[in-house]
Amino acid sequence: MPEQDVTVGQLLLAEYQTVKDEQKTRIGFRDNLLYVTLTIVAAVIAAAAQAKQPVMLLALPPVCVVLGWTYLVNDEKISAIGTYVRDDLAPRLAELAQAEAVFGWETAHRSDTRRRSRKVIQYSVDLLAFCVVPFAGLIVYWAAGRMSPGLLALSVVEALIVIGLGHQVLSYARPSNSPCPPTP
């Protein structure tokens, strides 16, 4: 078999395809986490209501925090891939190709005037699914009034962890930490 030289441009295109495949996989996984969370939340709430056992609601915070953190980490990696393609890979390939720009969609889709409001809504949904719902479960548990000191301590720790996740969601939502640039 004759040897074929691999060009830098071919390597960059292969890298682009690889990171876009990873991004696509992460997007599918991330989006499914929200559906899984909603399903588990509905199941826990239904079971707690049917059994008339508010203590079962203590399952919500750990489940929502684990799924929420996984969602947040994947979302950050998805954004990081986009940033890498826009800020590093595209300029190098454009220079090699002696083109003004490559991968136009990587920047074009970010210029939508409603992008910022969609981001705010998405972060609100994230907070609702992964933080507000488990915190509401804790409030219902506390309001039921039937708790042991150990479970009360556990619920307080869970509340602090949910608050911590909420803080992380909001940290990632800030323009300096998020892929959403500040609006002029």
- Per-residue pLDDT of 49-70, as tens digits, reads 999 999 999 999 999 999 999 9
Nearest in space to 71 (alpha carbons), one of 38, 95, 49, 100: 38
For 116, phi then psi, to 5°, come to -60, -45
pLDDT reading at 181 higher than 70: no
The 10s digit of each residue's pLDDT in 26-54 is: 999 999 999 999 999 999 999 999 999 99
Q: Return the pLDDT at 109.
A: 81
C-alpha torsion 183→86→167→145, nearest 10: 110
C-beta separation of 55 from 137 below 8 A: no
pLDDT reading at 162 higher than 90: yes
pLDDT reading at 106 higher than 90: no
| Distance between CA atoms of residues 24 and 9, nearest Å | 22
Residue pointed to by tokens 């890298």? 15
Q: Return the pLDDT at 45.
A: 97
Q: Return the pLDDT at 59.
A: 98
pLDDT reading at 2 higher than 80: no
The 10s digit of each residue's pLDDT in 163-173 is: 999 999 999 88
Q: Which residues of 82-109 are buried (b: 16+ CB within 10 A; e: fewer)?
A: bebbeeebbeebeeeeeeeebbeebeee
Give mean pLDDT, residues 81-85.
Answer: 95
| Distance between CA atoms of residues 4 and 7, nearest Å | 9
pLDDT band, residue 3 (cuts 50/70/90): low
The 10s digit of each residue's pLDDT in 108-147 is: 888 888 988 998 999 999 999 999 999 999 999 999 988 8
pLDDT reading at 183 higher than 70: no
CA contacts within 13 A on the Cβ side of 50: 6
pTM, two decimals, is 0.85
In one-letter notation, the amino acid at residue 15 is E
C-alpha torsion 159→162→168→174, nearest 10: -90
Percent of all residues in the chain with a pLDDT value above 90, rounded to a whole number: 74
Q: Which has more confidence, 91 or 183?
A: 91
